Structure 1
Amino acid sequence: MAARRLAFNFNRALKSRTAVNAIKSRGFASPITLPATTQCTTLSNGLTIATEYSPWAKTSSVGVWIDAGSRAETDETNGTAHFLEHLAFKGTNKRTQHQLELEIENMGAHLNAYTSRESTVYYAKSFNSDVPKTVDILSDILQNSKLDEGAIERERSVILREQEEVDKQLEEVVFDHLHATAFQGQPLGRTILGPRENIQSIQRSHLTEYIKTNYTPDRMVLVGAGGVPHETLVQLAREHFGSLPTATPASAALAAAQKQVPDFIGSDNLTNLDDLVHFTLREWTRLSFNVTEAEVERAKAQLKASILLSLDGTTAIAEDIGRQIITTGRRMLPEEIERVIGKITEKDVMDFAQKKIWDQDVAVSAVGSIEGLLDLPRIRNDMSRNAS
């Protein structure tokens, strides 16, 4: 009896150990994810290629980030960059608009573009096997857009209607006014779409001159994220962008002259205006002199989550790479950003606030019933009182 019980317990222990070992061994079936890295190469003409390669990804996002937006315009040509974006997919010297649309649809790809004050971006998402064709299409759009007079007139009407729609969106309008107030007489003070009179008067010559001045390789970054290897994209860049001429001294000087950026901009939806302004200024002032450890730790956690969660997908990663490189010349990886945020202390926050917020001129923008809005001298006085 004792021998039988001993044998039973032995068998049960053996089965239990086998099960545990099976569970442990299954853990090794999961792939080991290595930290992602951003590789950069610069061609002889100044074009930068930057990639983040994910060998398990089935798709890739590829795009061209150009360090030129509406801030690269003049008062007379304001709206040109956005106008060009509208004409990008209207046909090239090699492809009609229909052929362009058909090629993208046949690949199951997505092609898009946008313009901001700081940059212009053309990008696409496709299967890895279609990346060569995608790069060919992007280079064709950037270098060979037809800019047909008929298309220009059609898009002129489209942009005017778009402007009417934007004017109905108060959040867009209030930020345009804020830029105009904060950057009076500077390129960043202008709108992206441009004034109505400019939209009505922009000609093909303005568009070609903008391309010649700003679509230069030293101001471009070809970005790839997903399943496209770095060397593959470098080779494609040589094939399709290698013939782009280097920048002229005039365009380089223009870029250097327009690198001023704002230190701080703030805005809010205004309801009880006097109270809102008062409590906003009081909170700004408090950040300069009284920040708790708990507040900083909570803000750090929220900031890390916001940044890391925004990098979900190859298009988001490509956007992050392109934006960072044309802005700073390098890309901080998420791990590096997380480490930097983790080192921030209460003193760092207060030092920054005292330098950038406390007793500084502010720009205020409001749209709607603004009778209760404090004027600028009273706002500055309110900041001083809050500190006492």
Structure 2
Amino acid sequence: MTSRSPRATARPSSEGRAVARTQTLLPGKDGIGTVRRTTLPGGLRIVTETLPSVRSATFGIWAHVGSRDETPALNGATHYLEHLLFKGTRKRSALDISAAIDAVGGEMNAFTAKEYTCYYARVLDTDLPLAIDVVCDMLTGSLILDEDVDAERGVILEEIAMTEDDPGDVVHELFAQTMFGDTPLGRPVLGTVDTVNALTRSQIARFYKKHYDPTHLVVAAAGNVDHATVVRQVRRAFEKAGALGHTDAVPVAPRDGRRTLRAAGRVELLNRRTEQAHVVLGMPGLARTDERRWALGVLNTALGGGMSSRLFQEVREKRGLAYSVYSYTSGFADCGLFGVYAGCRPGQVHDVLKICREELHKVASDGLTDEEIRRAVGQLSGSTVLGLEDTGALMNRIGKSELCWGSQMSVDDMLARIADVTPDEVREVARDVLEQRPSLSVIGPLKDKQADRLQRAVS
């Protein structure tokens, strides 16, 4: 990701505290959409995007840790910890945490991914100081008590069971396992029943101490916010908790990843008594830092990103073989995935796979038409802008950008990069990605004898 050259100022505290460094990353227009970053002594980064015209604000803290950082024995620890930070601090009980945000009509939640974790609250702009205090307290003052670990274990096991009841979700986890095998990227974010049952309070507490120091955190706020005020309130909250760390510490660099082996031509079947068979056909994609990702985004949109896409037209509209069919991309620090999903009747799996493979081959060999590329560029541009219409999405964008790239890109620059994608770039990335030998994951009431036929489908 690219960014404009930031303007930096160093501001000593009036109380004689160590100096914080503030930079304007994106100037915005007339102060609207201005993105600033302040790095506090101790390595804590605070980024904000200011939109004076709205009445809401979203405040979040991003942690540079995900399920990718877990050993096999710790699988599920990141997500387990996400739950536990809501269970109480030295200042607040679990009820106090939820009641504080509920009382002002706000919403609070968190999510764990392969390479990061985020905790956030969305409130009225006048209630932002409360959101800052509550979320910072959770991140810096969690007690992680034995009784909370035991109680939340049952909740997480129920969450795993709920996910297992949705084969449309499980098939994507199965596909990650198919592609990456028994590696951190191949294991489920939630962990398994066995690993969650085996995790102890001391293991989780050590994980918390290791991964939640200020150098691993990015604070992000978007909406009707004042950058200096947010910095002052965050700094006060962290200082009260004694959580700013060493003044000479520097933020961790964006993750560069560890090259993960990926499989080709593997087939994983999970036999279940479902009404539909759930299918993911895919291959290695691109890392999130790969400059070809813009062309891949256009390719993905044209191939399976909407109702006018090739896959939707060929599989659903012309033949009526599936209700849901789409393609998608996932980018990590050093690798990625490109996948095609379809849900269909079990007896039609082979027909659906045949059509999907044919369309992938056609695009890899002949490319997309100019009209398909034009339409995909317009669709991708529009969805990019529409997806940033609320303060939560803006907070996600600036927080993730700081954590994963260490820089910011304006919406105008993003739209320009999408518009600059050429047919030759799309054809090139189609050849690079789609001509690879695919792997396949299927969940449904399939017979063992179908395994050989499905194996041949990816040969």
**Band the TM-score falls in, shorter-chain normalisation:** 0.7 to 0.9
Which residue does 1:235 correspond to in 2?
232
Which residue does 1:347 correspond to in 2?
424
> Quick check: which one's helix share is greater?
1
Residue 68 in structure 1 maps to residue 147 in structure 2: no
Alignment of 1:240-255 (within 5 A): 240-241=237-238, 243-245=243-245
Q: Tell me which amino acid in the other structure corresponds to 2:443.
A: V
Alignment of 1:186-201 (within 5 A): 186-201=183-198
SS for the counterpart of 2:342 is: coil
Which residue does 1:16 correspond to in 2?
none
Q: Tell me which amino acid in the other structure corresponds to 2:427.
A: M
SS for the counterpart of 1:186 is: coil
In structure 1, how many angstroms separate the alpha carbons of the residues matched to 2:196 and 2:377? 44
SS for the counterpart of 2:219 is: strand
Q: Deviations over 1:285-342 (max 9, x none)?
A: 2222332110000111111122111112111211122222222222222211111111
Offset at residue 94 of structure 1 (A): 1.5
SS for the counterpart of 2:182 is: coil
Q: Tell me which amino acid in the other structure corresponds to 1:280.
A: C
In structure 1, how many angstroms separate the alpha carbons of the residues matched to 2:424 and 2:198? 53
Q: Paired residue for 1:122, among 97, 119, 123? A: 119
Alignment of 1:54-133 (within 5 A): 54-133=51-130
Q: Is the 8 A contact 1:273 1:370 kept in 2?
A: no
Offset at residue 378 of structure 1 (A): 4.4
Shift of the 331–269 alpha-carbon distance from structure 1 to 2, 3 Å rule, reads: farther
Shift of the 366–62 alpha-carbon distance from structure 1 to 2, 3 Å rule, reads: same
Shift of the 270–216 alpha-carbon distance from structure 1 to 2, 3 Å rule, reads: farther
Q: Is the 8 A contact 1:116 1:192 kept in 2?
A: yes
In structure 2, how many angstroms separate the alpha carbons of the residues matched to 1:221 and 1:78? 24
Shift of the 155–292 alpha-carbon distance from structure 1 to 2, 3 Å rule, reads: same
Shift of the 362–88 alpha-carbon distance from structure 1 to 2, 3 Å rule, reads: same
Which structure 2 segments of 5+ residues have no match?
Answer: 1-28, 259-332
In structure 1, how many angstroms separate the alpha carbons of the residues matched to 2:362 and 2:409? 30
Residue 268 in structure 1 maps to residue 316 in structure 2: no
> Quick check: which one's strand share is greater?
2
Shift of the 265–107 alpha-carbon distance from structure 1 to 2, 3 Å rule, reads: same
Which residue does 1:173 correspond to in 2?
170
Offset at residue 377 of structure 1 (A): 5.2
Which structure 1 segments of 5+ residues have no match?
Answer: 1-31, 381-388
Shift of the 164–263 alpha-carbon distance from structure 1 to 2, 3 Å rule, reads: closer
Residue 368 in structure 1 maps to residue 444 in structure 2: yes
Offset at residue 48 of structure 1 (A): 1.7
Shift of the 310–247 alpha-carbon distance from structure 1 to 2, 3 Å rule, reads: farther
In structure 1, how many angstroms separate the alpha carbons of the residues matched to 2:190 and 2:92? 27
SS for the counterpart of 2:88 is: coil
Q: Is the 8 A contact 1:265 1:363 kept in 2?
A: no
Q: Tell me which amino acid in the other structure corresponds to 1:200.
A: N
Q: Paired residue for 1:163, among 160, 171, 175? A: 160
Which residue does 2:149 correspond to in 1?
152
Q: Tell me which amino acid in the other structure corresponds to 1:81.
A: T
Q: Tell me which amino acid in the other structure corresponds to 1:313.
A: D
In structure 1, how many angstroms separate the alpha carbons of the residues matched to 2:414 and 2:160? 37
Shift of the 222–74 alpha-carbon distance from structure 1 to 2, 3 Å rule, reads: same
Q: Tell me which amino acid in the other structure corresponds to 1:365.
A: S
Q: Is the 8 A contact 1:60 1:224 kept in 2?
A: yes
Shift of the 256–34 alpha-carbon distance from structure 1 to 2, 3 Å rule, reads: closer
SS for the counterpart of 1:264 is: strand
Q: Is the 8 A contact 1:38 1:52 kept in 2?
A: yes
In structure 2, how many angstroms separate the alpha carbons of the residues matched to 1:200 and 1:36? 46
Q: Tell me which amino acid in the other structure corresponds to 1:277.
A: L
Q: Tell me which amino acid in the other structure corresponds to 2:54.
A: A
Shift of the 248–66 alpha-carbon distance from structure 1 to 2, 3 Å rule, reads: farther
SS for the counterpart of 1:134 is: helix
In structure 1, how many angstroms separate the alpha carbons of the residues matched to 2:206 and 2:343? 39
Shift of the 86–100 alpha-carbon distance from structure 1 to 2, 3 Å rule, reads: same
Q: Tell me which amino acid in the other structure corresponds to 1:244.
A: L
Residue 379 in structure 1 maps to residue 458 in structure 2: yes
In structure 1, how many angstroms separate the alpha carbons of the residues matched to 2:404 and 2:342? 26
Identity %: 30
Shift of the 45–361 alpha-carbon distance from structure 1 to 2, 3 Å rule, reads: farther
Which residue does 1:3 correspond to in 2?
none
In structure 2, how many angstroms separate the alpha carbons of the residues matched to 1:190 and 1:244? 33
Q: Is the 8 A contact 2:62 2:399 kept in 1?
A: yes
In structure 2, how many angstroms separate the alpha carbons of the residues matched to 1:284 and 1:299? 16
TM-score by length of 1: 0.82
Q: Deviations over 1:57-84 (max 9, x none)?
A: 2221001011212111111011111111
Q: Tell me which amino acid in the other structure corresponds to 2:349.
A: L
Which residue does 2:266 correspond to in 1?
none
Which residue does 1:357 correspond to in 2?
434
Offset at residue 263 of structure 1 (A): 4.6
After TM superposition, the structure 1 stretch with the greater mean CA deviation from structure 2, 272-281 or 115-124, is: 272-281
Offset at residue 376 of structure 1 (A): 4.2
Shift of the 47–274 alpha-carbon distance from structure 1 to 2, 3 Å rule, reads: same
Q: Is the 8 A contact 2:59 2:128 kept in 1?
A: yes
Q: Is the 8 A contact 1:267 1:365 kept in 2?
A: no
SS for the counterpart of 1:113 is: strand
CA RMSD for the aligned pairs? 2.6
Q: Is the 8 A contact 1:218 1:246 kept in 2?
A: no
Which residue does 1:223 correspond to in 2?
220
Offset at residue 92 of structure 1 (A): 0.6
Q: Tell me which amino acid in the other structure corresponds to 1:329.
A: G
Q: Tell me which amino acid in the other structure corresponds to 2:372.
A: E
